[in-house]
Structure 1
Amino acid sequence: MSSPVLKALVAARQKCLTEDEAYWDPKPDFTRPVSARNEAAALSWMLDHQAAVCRGGPADVAELRALCANYCVRLGAATPPEQQAEEQGGEEKATAAAADSEPADAGPDGAVHGTAGEAAVGSGPEAAARGGLTSSSSGRSFGAGSVEEALQRWCTQRGVRGAASPALFGRGGGQRGGGSSSGTAAQPPPPLRGLRADTAVAPGDVVLHVPADLLISYETAKKSDLGKVLSALPLDLSDDSIALIWTCVERHEPEAPHAPFWAALPHSFSTALSASQEDVALLEGTPLHGDAVRARQHLSEAFESSSPAFRSLLGAYPDYFKPEWFSWESYLWAAELWYSYGIQVQFASGDIRTCLAPYLGLMNHHPLPHVVHFSKVDPETGCLRVRAFRPCEAGNQLFLSYGPYSNAKLLLFYGFAVRDNPADEVELVLQVPPGAAATDRRALLAAGLSLEHRLRAGGRLAPPLLSCARLLAAPPPLLKQWRRMPPAEVKAAVAAPIDAESEAVAMGLLGDAIEALLRPARDCAARLRSQEVGKEAREGFAAAVGGEEQTAVGPGTELRRFARVYVDGLVRVLEDALAAVRRGPISPRSNAA
């Protein structure tokens, strides 16, 4: 018989189920983990309600803590990520990093800064998941005089409390981003900046308290002197436009209230938004390529629409404002900052605002995090309460989760990708076959089915995807019959195969749609491999003649590394889905995360 704590876990899993998780399995087995996100949310909820969950006293508390401690193992990890030799996930937001010989007080140019917050630690926190990174179990402290030490001191003075300190993790001992296996020695990755547990962390411990008045929101920008000037201009600037322009200026102001925060940020980001045209072109043939082109075009148009404000400020205050503050590069930096570090925070008033969270932004992302709930201001303390749901040994890196994001989203907005990302998925949009029955098919789809679906690794075919394919493959006479039925009965009719012939047609439609994505994705993967082989050949030749290939670890290098992780994952998802289609659909229970 299940214990009261296990029964509470089953109820918590059900309570924390999202629409996305229900998409993959409409009737999950709540007696086992549904997904990494769901399990983390369920355990966090139980810790928040420990008094009600653990009514049996110390024995129940011990059982709950054991469940929290075994979280990673239940989700399939041999050891927790902070103890693994090869880091599969958290990494920092932006650029290059200190070499092994460099001191740990090198500052923002001496440590890799990734992008990410539950909007993404690329959004909020500092480091972001990077596939294949070396993760030292004990971080190295930053020295006196470093921007990290200054940030910690300033945050402490402003009321930040907790048991976590900035540190460098890893010593560049392995490849990142899906490096080639040709045997040529690749340039090791730099260390990553993150937050280290100062003392042993137990389930339920609060590792950080961040005062709400330390947060930087759009309201912060609007209420500033510059924000008031911008709001008064007859340009109808949006809140986010005002925030970006304010950021372009505030980061250069030495007397700014948040000056230590600005100083500790990376000087550049490595997202697909700021990648070179050449690097973006490497992604051609993938869904991310189109997303990146559209996002970059949107930012370019936003920059142009803000140009009148730039001219007004430069004309009115020529002795203060500098033209380079309003350059495209400066504007893009500000946009990437808010995309990758911004988190959605619910304040005590109930308002939800996009915020930059100093210090919390240093914490890196991992699919198996220590923290998942960190974006609500506690009305009693007036702070963001960053609470761990699983233990962490002293000296190890603390991780949070930006959310269950695909590698495409992580690379576009946060500048990294996660090898074997459990949340990785590919959008699949089906098409209504032409012909006389097209009108009936569209009418039935409008009754509750969608043409837009998703694929994941492992041959996971979501029930709504199969239902849609069956409707698109159904014979016209059956469509006429279905149009006279209530939508619920139609959904029930396509939840299972109609007949062998129609099922074969449905699987054929799915196979064609998947192959249309797979062919260009394979071409892209081959192109990236070819580029790596050429680079390794140049490095090998340089070594043979006693020279050294001069390759910098910069934003472009980082994006190309993670492009391989993204594209390899894309091909894997599509190949798994195609194999599943060819052998017939998998039952929903086999699809469970």
Structure 2
Amino acid sequence: MKNLLQHLRGQYGELFPSLCDDHPDIFPRELYTWEQFLWACELWYSNSMNVMFPDGKLRTCLIPIAGFLNHSLHPHILQYGKVDTAANSLKFRLSRPCSAGEQCFLSYGHFSSSHLISFYGFLPQGDNPYDIIPVDIDATEDDSITSNSTHMVRGTWLLRNHNIFYYGLPLPLLDHLRRTQSPKLQYNTLLQANLENEMEVLGRLRSIFDCVMESLGAADLHDRENTSWDVRLAVEFKDLQRRIVSSILSSCDTGLKLLKNEWCRCLAEDSRG
């Protein structure tokens, strides 16, 4: 959010007060203040939408009435509206039925909750698949998966495979940690060395997210109904982050139990010869 405000402040500085000085009849100073500019930007970012014009070009517009359509993770409208010159109207194609009297939702885009809070001022209801927590981990020179050390982690409830070697966790992150831990091992085989390496990997990952959870602090349990809407949004967003981190920690713990059981089984088989 700070970066966005800095960007807007820079844009404002490039335009004003130069325009006010050069064209005072068009840009009177009392109307083109920073506060008014910020209000206009908020209006544009939160209400504008793409429209297909008859010439086949997409243009970003502010549209009365249509601008009141709310966002949903399961919207009725997925694509842009299209100008119908014959009916002199703007039409939106539904991707699923919307009954008479039912609120019609559209998609503002594939945005994370942090983006929706920053640009639209709300937190979506339900599990947003675009909510991620970036994790910075030192990359090695032979890391072929990514040229940087940032990995994106989602809530593990969004992934189906929670079996051994997967755990509901992102494979690029797991593979990076595996190579860092023991680059010569072959993975996804139930050998004792692999299982021990996996336990080290999950232990390291758990340690990383223990620190993340600690940085988020304890849950804020004060009376939220009587707080301002922006403070309440901030608290709810932090709760969401805790939920994501908690799911990662739980997946690590469950994975460690799976690995320990398999490791004990391998030891038992080795002891029997």
Between the two proteins, the alignment pairs up a number of residues equal to: 245
For residues 491-530 of structure 1, the aligned pairs below 5 Å read: 499-523=194-218, 525-526=219-220, 529-530=221-222
Asked if residue 415 in structure 1 is aligned to residue 115 in structure 2, the reply is no
Report if the CA contact (8 A) 2:113-2:123 is conserved.
yes
Report if the CA contact (8 A) 2:133-2:152 is conserved.
yes
Partner of 1:33: none
Partner of 2:232: 561
**Distance in structure 2 (CA, Å) of the matches to 1:494 and 1:427:** 26
The alpha-carbon distance between structure 1 residues 495 and 322, as it changes in their structure 2 partners (threshold 3 A), is farther
Q: 1:452 aligns with which of 151, 166, 179?
A: 151
**Distance in structure 2 (CA, Å) of the matches to 1:350 and 1:402:** 21
Partner of 2:179: 471
Amino acid in structure 2 at the alignment position of 1:299: L
Asked if residue 386 in structure 1 is aligned to residue 92 in structure 2, the reply is yes
Amino acid in structure 1 at the alignment position of 2:175: S
Matched residue SS, 1:515: helix
* Runs of at least 5 residues in structure 2 that lack an aligned partner in the other structure: 160-168, 257-273
Q: 2:253 aligns with which of 582, 586, 589?
A: 582
Deviation of 1:410 after TM superposition, in Å, equals: 0.9
The alpha-carbon distance between structure 1 residues 446 and 463, as it changes in their structure 2 partners (threshold 3 A), is closer
Partner of 2:141: 439
* Runs of at least 5 residues in structure 1 that lack an aligned partner in the other structure: 1-291, 480-492, 537-550, 552-556, 586-593
1 or 2 for the larger relative contact order (CA 8 Å, sep ≥6)? Answer: 1
Q: 2:46 aligns with which of 340, 357, 378?
A: 340
Asked if residue 322 in structure 1 is aligned to residue 28 in structure 2, the reply is yes
**Distance in structure 1 (CA, Å) of the matches to 2:180 and 2:41:** 41
Amino acid in structure 1 at the alignment position of 2:141: T
Q: 2:59 aligns with which of 353, 376, 386?
A: 353
TM-score after normalising by structure 1: 0.37
TM-score after normalising by structure 2: 0.74
Deviation of 1:323 after TM superposition, in Å, equals: 1.7
**Distance in structure 2 (CA, Å) of the matches to 1:575 and 1:501:** 24
**Distance in structure 1 (CA, Å) of the matches to 2:75 and 2:22:** 49
Asked if residue 425 in structure 1 is aligned to residue 127 in structure 2, the reply is no
**Distance in structure 2 (CA, Å) of the matches to 1:293 and 1:495:** 43
**Distance in structure 2 (CA, Å) of the matches to 1:430 and 1:459:** 21
The alpha-carbon distance between structure 1 residues 294 and 319, as it changes in their structure 2 partners (threshold 3 A), is closer
Partner of 1:373: 79
The alpha-carbon distance between structure 1 residues 320 and 384, as it changes in their structure 2 partners (threshold 3 A), is closer
Amino acid in structure 2 at the alignment position of 1:454: V
Report if the CA contact (8 A) 1:369-1:401 is conserved.
yes
Q: 1:570 aligns with which of 241, 249, 262?
A: 241
**Distance in structure 2 (CA, Å) of the matches to 1:388 and 1:365:** 14
Amino acid in structure 2 at the alignment position of 1:412: S
The alpha-carbon distance between structure 1 residues 323 and 394, as it changes in their structure 2 partners (threshold 3 A), is same
Report sequence identity in percent.
30
- Deviation readout 1:347-402 (Å, 9 max, x if unpaired): 45454433323321111112222222234556987864312233333323221121
Deviation of 1:561 after TM superposition, in Å, equals: 2.1
**Distance in structure 2 (CA, Å) of the matches to 1:350 and 1:454:** 38
